[in-house]
Amino acid sequence: MLEAVIWLLGYQLAGEFIVRCFGWPLPGAVVGMLLLLLTLLARRSVPEGLQHSVPTLLGHLSLLFIPAGVGVLAWWPQLLDAGWRLALVLLLSTLLPLLGTAYLLRALLARKEAAR
Amino acid sequence: MSASVLDALSAVSRGPLFGLFLTLLAYRVALWLNRRCHGHPLSNPVLVGCVLVGAVLLAGGVRVDTYMEGGRLLMLLLGPATVALAVPLYHQFARLRRSAVALTLALLAGSLIGIASSVLLGRLFGLSETLVLSLVPRSVTTPIAMGVAEAIGGDPTLAAAFVIVSGILGAVLVRPLFTRLGLMDERVLGFATGVAAHGIGTARVFQISQGAGAFAALAMGLNGLMTALIAPLLLRLLTRFWH
């Protein structure tokens, strides 16, 4: 656990540092994730500390979303104000990429398998 | 005596420990309920957890800001959790490379449709500029969405709220929708859910199959990256086109 925390915080901090150095409009954690992926690919294995703790951490990802969801309460007046229009935009803009990605990927995979 | 008990209670509820404890407790109850309902889409732990915490805050007259003293501590952990996604990405790397071209094209299309549909539909329905800009990073995982919203001039906490709503919508709808449309290939189901409904959708897809979950985790990570990279650029283009 301790090792995993040190790995993850270390890579996030490195990411934050790089993002600030170059003024990129990216969260530092994303760059940290890329750096860690590159590191794992280079050493061709996952350090034991990470291997044990990461599945547990990601298994409880839902917990970390709850405070942000509760934050919706603070926006209640504005959200009610936009009402059904906002609800419709949210529904459509979730369904469109979901179905668009699915149909395109199915067509591409079918073409690839037919070519084989 | 009773007045001092009330004072003590309100003093305790003002510290960060209260929000932290309340969230952990609500999450534990939500997990139990999800198991009791055999993973029914509407018993989603994020949805139930938020409702429980919200109910306690409303019943106790506790302000959301006060709760966030503790909530913020958990949100801080989303950063390291994002970094941790590198591990499942590493494990799936060989599988990813095998369909690299198809996945890249599908990802690019999904990401563009996600951003463009938020902006265009938002404006079409006359939503305020803050709402539209906070909707843009809606289909990616929270830490990335908050960072992107901040970078393009939206509101990070509002963006996080939309991420949750979008994720729950995707998680609840994906199975009935894809069954009806005959799209149940695990690569297609997983990848599309990861692109459109990030972590909450991914958690849902893992319950359907491990393979679909792996593709969802992959898509979630990649779309986070893609949106962070292209949202500011695409937004500038769309704005020019719109005016």
Could you tell me what percent of chain B has a pLDDT over 90?
22
Identify which of B17, B35, B45, B16 has the alpha carbon closest to the alpha carbon of residue B164: B45
Query: Residues B9-17: contacts with CB within 8 Å, 24+ apart?
Result: B13/B60, B13/B62, B13/B66, B14/B66, B14/B69, B15/B69, B15/B70, B16/B69, B16/B70, B16/B72, B16/B73, B17/B70
Of B76, B92, B126, the residue that ends a domain is B76
- Closest CA of chain B from A17, distance in Å: 14
Q: Are residues A36 and A76 in the same domain?
A: no
In the 8-state DSSP scheme, what is residue A73? G
pLDDT greater than 80 at residue B241: no
Question: Which tokens is B219 given?
Answer: 């898509």
Q: Please report the pLDDT score of residue B199 as a whole number.
A: 76
Of B22, B52, B76, the residue that ends a domain is B76
SS3 content of chain A, % helix, strand, coil (to 5): 90, 0, 10
Q: Which residues of B touch A22 (CB under 8 A)?
A: none
Identify which of B221, B75, B58 has the alpha carbon closest to the alpha carbon of residue B157: B75
Q: Are residues B126 and B38 in the same domain?
A: no
**DSSP states along B45-104:** HHHHHHHHHHHHHHHHT--HHHHHHHHHHHHHTHHHHHHHTHHHHHHTHHHHHHTHHHHH
pLDDT greater than 60 at residue B243: no
Of B83, B117, B131, the CB nearest to A86: B131
Domain membership flag for residue A65: no
Domain that holds residue A48: 1-59
Q: Which amino acid is at B194?
A: G
Q: Are residues B37 and B99 in the same domain?
A: no
Q: Are residues B101 and B163 in the same domain?
A: yes
Q: Are B150 and A24 in contact (CB under 8 A)?
A: no
| Number of structural domains found in chain A | 2
- Between CA B180 and CA B123, with CA A86 as vertex, the angle to 5 degrees is 105
Question: Which tokens is B153 given?
Answer: 């001039």
Give the integer Cα–Cα distance in Å for B26 and B32: 10
Q: Please report the pLDDT score of residue A18 as a whole number.
A: 94
Q: Are residues B142 and B115 in the same domain?
A: yes
Of A30, A59, A88, the residue that ends a domain is A59
Q: Are residues A86 and A53 in the same domain?
A: no
Number of residues written out for chain B: 243
Give the integer Cα–Cα distance in Å for A76 and A110: 45
Of A59, A88, A106, the residue that ends a domain is A59
Q: Are residues B175 and B207 in the same domain?
A: yes
Interface list for A 13-32 with B (CB within 8 A): 15, 25-30, 32
Domain that holds residue B11: 2-76
Q: Please report the pLDDT score of residue A16 as a whole number.
A: 93
Q: Which residues of B touch A43 (CB under 8 A)?
A: none
| Number of structural domains found in chain B | 2
Q: Are residues A1 and A41 in the same domain?
A: yes
- Closest CA of chain A from B54, distance in Å: 6
First to last CA, chain B: 65
- Closest CA of chain A from B193, distance in Å: 6
Q: Please report the pLDDT score of residue B1 as a whole number.
A: 55
Domain membership flag for residue A67: no
Q: Are A11 and A32 in contact (CB under 8 A)?
A: yes
Q: Residue with structure tokens 């009935």? A: B176
Least confident residue range of A86-95, B89-98, B169-178: B89-98
Q: Are residues A81 and A48 in the same domain?
A: no
Domain membership flag for residue A66: no
pLDDT digits (tens, 9 = 90+) for A20-48: 899 776 678 878 988 999 999 999 999 99
Q: Are B108 and A97 in contact (CB under 8 A)?
A: no
Identify which of A72, A99, A74, A66 has the alpha carbon closest to the alpha carbon of residue A87: A72
Identify the residue with better confidence: A71 or B58.
B58
Q: Please report the pLDDT score of residue A111 as a whole number.
A: 87
Enter the pTM of the model: 0.80
DSSP 3-state of B39: coil
Q: Are residues B105 and B222 in the same domain?
A: yes
Q: Are residues A87 and A109 in the same domain?
A: yes
Q: Are residues A49 and A87 in the same domain?
A: no
Q: Are residues B126 and B164 in the same domain?
A: yes
Q: Which residues of B touch A73 (CB under 8 A)?
A: 54, 57, 64
Q: Is B154 left (phi over 0), alpha (psi -120 to 50) or beta?
A: beta
Q: Are residues A15 and A37 in the same domain?
A: yes
Q: Are residues B104 and B202 in the same domain?
A: yes
Identify which of B166, B195, B193, B160 has the alpha carbon closest to the alpha carbon of residue B177: B193
Domain membership flag for residue A64: no
Give the integer Cα–Cα distance in Å for B62 and B69: 12
In whole numbers, what is the pLDDT of chain B averaged over residues?
85
